[in-house]
Amino acid sequence: MTKQPTSRAGKTSGRGTRDLKVRVKTAKGRKMSSKLWLERQLNDPYVARAKREGFRGRAAYKIIELDDKYRFLVPGARVVDLGCAPGGWCQVAVARVNALGEKSGKKVGRVLGLDLQEVDPIAGAEIHVLDFLSEGADDKVKEWLGGPADVVMSDMAASSSGHKGTDHIRIVALVEAAAQLAFDVLEPGGTFVAKVLAGGAEVEMQAMLKRNFTKVANVKPPASRSDSSEKFVVATGFRGRDVLGAPDAE
């Protein structure tokens, strides 16, 4: 299991102990929102840990914690990471599915990352610039993987509009689109993982997933910030293309 990081603490003169936090001065021309974001980054133990352990971002720990619980990134698995930039989820997948073949006696998996922008290479992962919504994307994915996928995962979020309701609707639409690709490329028994924002508009999306997977869980991993409305849907046991559009599962 992943160990939970702890904040650095120190003594204060006669006042017991408290967390030592980095404060950022408001420089000329810097917005308060930028100052607060920078302070949060500098004081975030997951950010510091990601730097120490060589991950490209704190989001890597979200997929680590989800996989520690649900065990879908197994040696030999074929994985598709949608919207993979900057690459932290791919890094985790490469290690866990044994994409580099470093675990002797274990099956060797494959990791395919897709994004609209160029992503710096990751050893053990095959990364392509591709809009997964484009026609024929599913065929390209299966061609690059050498067969159907065992896992389709997404940490994508639509560009923020500044309006929570609008952002919620946008990300639900994005998850629904990602799920449609998953239906086209997943092996029966496969897993779909995606980020959503709490808000209520995801009822139909959840029903769609329950029709097509044997189990659907909604999880907020410890690495998700406490003040964030994000959660992750983990759908396991894909029923296969032949049940698409069937009535809701009990």
Which residues are annotated binding-site positions? 87, 89, 115, 131, 155
Residue 60: other Cβ atoms inside 10 A = 25
Is 69 annotated as catalytic?
no
Round to whole Å and give the CA distance between 154 and 106. 26
Question: Among the options 3, 106, 195, 231, which is catalytic?
Answer: 195
Backbone angles phi, psi at 218, to 5 degrees: -115, 120
The answer for residues whose C-beta is within 8 angstroms of residue 52's C-beta and 6 or more apart is: none
Known binding-site residue numbers for S-adenosyl-L-methionine: 87, 89, 115, 131, 155
Q: Which amino acid is at 235?
A: A
Residue with tokens 């946008």: 170
Round to whole Å and give the CA distance between 88 and 66. 14
Round to whole Å and give the CA distance between 63 and 3. 14
175 exposure class (CB count in 10 Å sphere: 0-12, 13-18, 19+): buried
Packed helices 164-185 and 203-212: angle between N→C axes, nearest 10 degrees:
20
Round to whole Å and give the CA distance between 109 and 124. 9
26 exposure class (CB count in 10 Å sphere: 0-12, 13-18, 19+): exposed
The residues that are catalytic are: 195
